[in-house]
């Protein structure tokens, strides 16, 4: 009896040894609803990378192709914003110094007004107005010299706004500029007037030398592709013509456009706004170096970094994210050191000439700085990461889902967790998740979208009250059609990952 039992046990052990390697190498199956949604989207399961872990404990709930470097699209903004919050602190701000070079007598500045950009991405029209208003409060109504602008803090490679996808007039393609005024955009408004049969055209801001058609004819029919119907012509001389019409059914609408002449935009905006405010200018607006050897008359201070990070992540603002990324390249301190004086560093950094032999561009320095930070926070796991421009508007960006999850786990236990988490879109409520098909208010997730990328990353509050870190990225030609699969994955995590 014992002999027969021994042989049976031996056969069982042999069979177990045969299947053990297969058991150890088996991958966990995706939740059925996720797999089915991928199938409907004609996206293979191998195109998806997923990590779901319990926040704080790191307990793994689901890991699927988590170590493969993938293009994260705008999820890369999480790396940039967390790095900035960690290094600079939530209360840090950009400072834009302004000098009055000359004596002010009877409302006249006998000299030039100088403005130096430090990378502040929040210099929208209202804040530029406040800056010029401050100049007027210092007694200046007429500038007998020039308005001098210094954009040399960012040393960038040459490029055009349309390099990424050929859409040069899309505001998301605006290139960074150390003195970025109003995102270098113009907003055209269209106000229908049924009595005259025309729509009044407005332009904000009023740029110096700009000529714009004041009205367009109203058209019957639905409000569909109304921008194409306007047949806009953005001419090299700064004029804008609309040779088409505007559908009455659209009501009042606005069309923000990246200025087709970005290099001269700052000059035209400053001159136009200064004159609109009643100021006089004898000279012109020109580029030159700021007098860094003397203290400015005043500085325009940006909103706190926590507010800027919120705008970046809630609305996936590309140019703001690139400015933050480039600013990280201006701060020379080691990653673990307290970020106390980035503004002082900017003030001490002379303008560099693009293409200087032996010098890296600010973009390269930013990549190096963030990689040092990643190495300090993630160790060897950061190998193989490609940061691109720090905003995700790149075909070359790469990061494994596992590393993204590790950063989110670390952020969960960091002092800046409240600021980073509150900057993420909230499911069904705001930002890029306001129309998300998942329970409202239960998920804080950054979205990422490119032509062949779709992703989500952040935190999910489950039915049991557990908080999960979730990272899910699809890289495939049909990635846009896979969004329902990502939504299904979030719902699965919300339900505490039920047994499959």
Mean pLDDT by 10 residues, the chain (500 residues): 52 47 55 96 97 96 96 98 97 98 96 97 98 98 98 86 79 93 97 96 92 94 94 88 96 95 95 97 96 97 98 96 96 40 33 42 92 86 85 94 96 97 95 88 96 97 96 97 96 81
- Measured between alpha carbons, how far is 21 from 251 in angstroms, rounded to an integer? 66
Which residue is it, tokens 């020379």? 332
Q: What pLDDT score was predicted for residue 6?
A: 55
pLDDT at residue number 278: 97
Q: Judge contact between 138 and 104, C-beta under 8 A.
A: yes
Give me the pLDDT at residue 176, please: 94
Look at residue 169 in the predicted model and tell me its pLDDT: 83
Burial class (CB in 10 A: 0-12, 13-18, 19+), 358: exposed
What's the whole-model pTM score? 0.87
Task: For residue 104, give every residue at least 6 positions away whose Cβ sits within 8 Å of its Cβ, in sequence order, or none.
Answer: 110, 138, 139, 140
The tokens describing 420, both together, are: 């980073």
Q: Give the pLDDT score at 3.
A: 55
What pLDDT is stored for residue 148 in this prediction? 98
Q: Tell me, what's the pLDDT at 341? A: 34
Torsion, Cα of 329, 333, 337, 338 (10° steps) = -70
Whether the Cβ atoms of residue 128 and residue 181 lie closer than 8 Å to each other: yes
Q: Could you tell me the two tokens for 284?
A: 């012109």
Give me the pLDDT at residue 7, please.
57
Q: Is 94 strand, coil or helix?
A: coil
Torsion angles phi and psi, residue 211, rounded to 5: -120, 125
CA–CA distance, 219 with 10 (Å, rounded to integer): 86
Domains of the chain: 32-91+305-494 (3.40.710.10), 95-161+264-301 (3.50.80.20), 168-260 (no CATH)
- CA distances, 183 to each of 162, 187, 258, 398, 436 (Å): 15, 11, 8, 27, 28
Measured CA to CA, the distance from residue 402 to residue 408 in angstroms comes to: 10
């Amino acid at each position: 009896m014992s002999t027969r039992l021994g042989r049976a046990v031996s056969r069982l052990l042999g069979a177990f040894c045969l299947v053990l390697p297969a058991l150890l190498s088996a991958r966990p199956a995706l939740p059925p609803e996720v797999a089915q949604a991928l199938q409907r989207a004609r996206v293979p399961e191998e195109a998806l990378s997923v990590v779901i872990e319990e926040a704080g404990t790191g307990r793994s709930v689901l890991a699927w192709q988590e170590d493969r470097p993938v293009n994260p699209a705008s999820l890369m903004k999480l790396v940039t914003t967390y790095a900035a919050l960690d290094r600079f602190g939530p209360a840090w701000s950009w400072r834009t110094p302004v000098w009055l070079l000359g004596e002010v007598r009877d409302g006249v500045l006998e000299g030039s007004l100088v403005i130096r950009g430090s990378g502040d991405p929040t210099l929208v029209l209202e804040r530029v107005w406040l800056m010029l208003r401050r100049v007027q409060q210092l007694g200046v109504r007429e500038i007998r010299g020039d308005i001098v602008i210094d954009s040399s803090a960012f040393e960038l490679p040459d490029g055009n706004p349309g390099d990424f996808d050929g859409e040069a007039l899309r505001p998301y393609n605006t290139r960074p500029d150390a003195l970025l005024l109003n995102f270098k955009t113009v907003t055209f408004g269209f106000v229908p007037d049924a009595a005259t049969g025309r729509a009044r055209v407005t332009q904000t801001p009023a740029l110096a030398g700009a000529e714009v058609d004041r009205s367009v004819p109203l058209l019957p029919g639905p409000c569909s592709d109304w921008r194409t119907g306007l047949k806009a012509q953005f001419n090299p001389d700064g004029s804008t013509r609309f040779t088409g019409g505007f559908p009455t059914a659209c009501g009042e609408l606005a069309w923000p456009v990246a200025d087709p002449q970005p290099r001269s935009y700052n000059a035209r905006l400053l001159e136009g706004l200064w004159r609109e405010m009643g100021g006089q200018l004898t000279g012109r607006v020109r580029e030159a170096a700021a007098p860094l050897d003397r203290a400015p008359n005043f500085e325009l201070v940006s909103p706190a970094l926590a507010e800027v990070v919120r705008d970046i992540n809630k609305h996936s603002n590309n140019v703001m994210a690139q400015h933050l990324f480039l600013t990280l390249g201006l701060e020379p301190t080691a990653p673990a050191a307290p970020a106390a004086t980035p503004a002082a560093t900017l003030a001490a950094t002379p303008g560099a000439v693009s293409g200087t032999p032996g010098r890296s561009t600010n973009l390269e320095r930013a990549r190096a700085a963030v990689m040092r930070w990643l190495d300090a926070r993630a160790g060897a796991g950061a190998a193989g990461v490609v940061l691109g421009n720090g905003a995700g508007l790149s075909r070359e960006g790469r990061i494994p889902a596992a590393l993204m999850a590790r950063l989110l786990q670390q952020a969960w236990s960091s002092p800046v967790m409240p600021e980073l988490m509150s900057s993420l879109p909230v499911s069904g409520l705001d930002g890029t998740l306001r129309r998300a098909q998942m329970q409202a208010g239960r998920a804080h997730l950054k979205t990422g979208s490119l032509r062949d990328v779709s992703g989500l990353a952040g935190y999910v509050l489950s039915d049991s009250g557990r908080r999960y870190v979730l990272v899910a990225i699809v890289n495939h030609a049909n990635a846009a059609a896979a969004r329902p699969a990502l939504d299904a994955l979030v719902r699965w995590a919300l339900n505490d990952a039920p047994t499959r």
